[in-house]
Structure 1
């Protein structure tokens, strides 16, 4: 090795210290590039819709630039123990604070290397973490780039004590330029993020302040088992509330002596201020749909409140969107499509509508007309089976290939998914296989999952506040029992997502197959979700 260094010095005037320095400069450049790509990914930058107007695999570039930065940064100090003039030991490569040559600054370089190992390993294993936890861990990237650049700027290249640093040297100028670029990128990202959060906060719906009545203006049969109800202000004029595309109304329905609530997504656009539409599918076990189908007529008043929900998209802060609907789950997404078309949103809107058979489609003529009118709208109706009918497009279960064919850039776009829970679970799996991050996926489910669990049993339930006693069937929820016996419990999604139906469990035991909307404090206070809680003991008491 000494002979090799002597040869390099004699032929090229380059020592092993110089080799280490050049490798360090390369690492700094790649780290800067990696930071740049990472920040583009964090704002969902779309290279097809923006410059350079062609598809670039940003996620792959970010990943491999990270791997390259790690390899080169580890290679950077490996030459120092071989350098005659460095007086640097192998142990000092791993623990540079023991060296006499600028121990603090060289230790910053080691900190960057060790932290980069942590960042790369956790990124490689990110699917084993919750997204929010992994995102916090990934912030260590800023420690990497910051400590490495400080190390590069203030370390004297020859590693000699008391040597004067030439900050106008070519290598120093390159590091300084990287530092300036990185600082500018971070300032831009912080500024952009602040503006985006402020904008989104302004777009978020406030707590519903409206509760009142709407009158049924008309009822339209969309299909044998789907009706659309057009609702207007009984006093005429505009609706007494405003809503965002994707939100819902909660209806208080009375049957016999019991009052129960059901929520239905608004499928009309908020631009139509004088009416709102809901589309309701008749199901065999649907108490709300049974009421609306058999107990209502044109001119009847319905008591409701809202609007509710955060499953909304107005186009703000995005360069495109993918909408995936299953069956009646089309309704909130149709509101989004109609709004974007009305606003002439200048970005691509991709809609995939999965149905059982071609006969189960909804709003097909309108979807076709919207695609003709608005060149940014692309849609695919995907029947799972065609039952011998002639169907010009693809069919079968929703697959990753269908998503990529419809929206090639799906990995970088926000995805809004609404439909039955089994369909949503399978679709989320496909989205993850395509590299769609969890934070990009927004969901709204229709109807709870069918639960089969041997631990569940029928129970006597006592409603402490209402002083009523009833029976919960095996597998039935506390919310089902409350509605049957006329005990008011506020509810919205009925899938365990919104947390509206929290009640305190006084005695007995229940099982919840979804409890993500419960906080640690809720659990300590023995709160449960009435729409998810099913008895596992023969007696239950709740505080309502």
Structure 2
């Protein structure tokens, strides 16, 4: 679920819900029929409008959603953390066959073209949704880009798409996956557990100034990470940011 301001574009595409599933604690994925003519780049988002909402408030019936599915995949997929907000309670009750409207996909949180420049994704929580799309498409296309994903959650149970991401790491020799669980039981989790800082990044990025960085997650986390990267010499133009609120 994104925290971006709604652009209030006229909805263009109607999509029907095929299925939904819980993919992590309090996190739901929704799979939609891909409307005819609907095209997008991995990492794009679009505004979703609910049909016949219980309320007429535009802020309740519309939200900007990142597309977690990759362009090559047959279905569209969105994912969100479920909370007590009116919008999220509405979508949690969606049943198969529910129809919504999507507008034109857009956004600049997409993989850079220069294959010689590494990409480092530093992601928190449900901020993984556009990155799942980017990594899936890069793996499918067998892109030569060197990709590193540092993905922080509290526990494995709260981390969405772990199975997918581990699978991409097995298939794609150019992709390094670094999951971090900051509150996991040490008897059940042997991986990284520290907060993301300069030391953590340097552990997995040999030349910290070489990559283009993609930061996505809660606004406070994104702000702190951006400041940290700038302090260690990363150019501001090499940092791309998406902020997710509404957890």
**1:277 — aligned with what?**
77
**1:214 — aligned with what?**
15
Instruction: Give the conservation status (yes or no) of the 8 Å contact 1:325–1:418.
Output: yes
Identify which of 235, 247, 250 aligns with 2:47. 250
Q: Does 1:225 pair with 2:22?
A: no
Identify which of 63, 84, 106 aligns with 1:308. 106
Identify which of 258, 261, 268 aligns with 2:62. 261
1:448 Cα deviation (Å)? 6.9
Kindly provide the CA deviation profile for residues 228-251 of structure 1, in whole angstroms up to 9, marking residues without a partner as x. Answer: 111114xxxx64311011111211
> What is the distance in 2 between the residues matched to 1:212 and 1:242?
11
1:289 Cα deviation (Å)? 1.6
TM-score by length of structure 2 reads 0.88
Tell me the matched-pair count. Answer: 234
Instruction: Say which structure is richer in strand.
Output: 2
Gap regions ≥5 residues in structure 2: 1-8
Instruction: Give the conservation status (yes or no) of the 8 Å contact 1:215–1:231.
Output: yes
> What is the distance in 2 between the residues matched to 1:242 and 1:396?
39
- Pick closer, same or farther for the CA change 1:275–1:358 going to 2, 3 Å: closer
Give the alignment of 1:124-163 within 5 angstroms: none
Gap regions ≥5 residues in structure 1: 1-207, 450-544
SS of 2:12's partner is: strand
Kindly provide the CA deviation profile for residues 480-509 of structure 1, in whole angstroms up to 9, marking residues without a partner as x. Answer: xxxxxxxxxxxxxxxxxxxxxxxxxxxxxx
Q: Does 1:290 pair with 2:104?
A: no
**2:3 — aligned with what?**
none
Instruction: Give the conservation status (yes or no) of the 8 Å contact 2:13–2:38.
Output: no
Give the alignment of 1:83-482 within 5 angstroms: 211-233=12-34, 239-253=36-50, 254-259=53-58, 260-272=61-73, 274-284=74-84, 286-294=85-93, 296-313=94-111, 315-319=112-116, 320-447=118-245
Instruction: Give the conservation status (yes or no) of the 8 Å contact 2:25–2:158.
Output: no
Kindly provide the CA deviation profile for residues 349-408 of structure 1, in whole angstroms up to 9, marking residues without a partner as x. Answer: 000101122321121122111111111100111112224542111212111111111222
> What is the distance in 2 between the residues matched to 1:210 and 1:256?
18
- Pick closer, same or farther for the CA change 1:270–1:262 going to 2, 3 Å: same
1:438 Cα deviation (Å)? 0.6
1:334 Cα deviation (Å)? 0.9
**Looking at CA atoms only, which structure, 1 or 2, has the larger radius of gyration?**
1
TM-score by length of structure 1 reads 0.41
- Pick closer, same or farther for the CA change 1:439–1:359 going to 2, 3 Å: same
SS of 1:255's partner is: coil
Instruction: Give the conservation status (yes or no) of the 8 Å contact 1:226–1:281.
Output: yes
Instruction: Say which structure is richer in helix.
Output: 1
1:209 Cα deviation (Å)? 8.5
Instruction: Give the conservation status (yes or no) of the 8 Å contact 1:239–1:275.
Output: no
- Pick closer, same or farther for the CA change 1:333–1:239 going to 2, 3 Å: farther
Q: CA RMSD in A?
A: 2.0
SS of 1:310's partner is: coil
- Pick closer, same or farther for the CA change 1:209–1:271 going to 2, 3 Å: farther
> What is the distance in 1 between the residues matched to 2:71 and 2:136?
9
1:432 Cα deviation (Å)? 1.8
1:219 Cα deviation (Å)? 0.6
> What is the distance in 1 between the residues matched to 2:154 and 2:25?
14
SS of 1:410's partner is: coil
Instruction: Give the conservation status (yes or no) of the 8 Å contact 2:67–2:78.
Output: yes
Instruction: Give the conservation status (yes or no) of the 8 Å contact 1:379–1:406.
Output: no
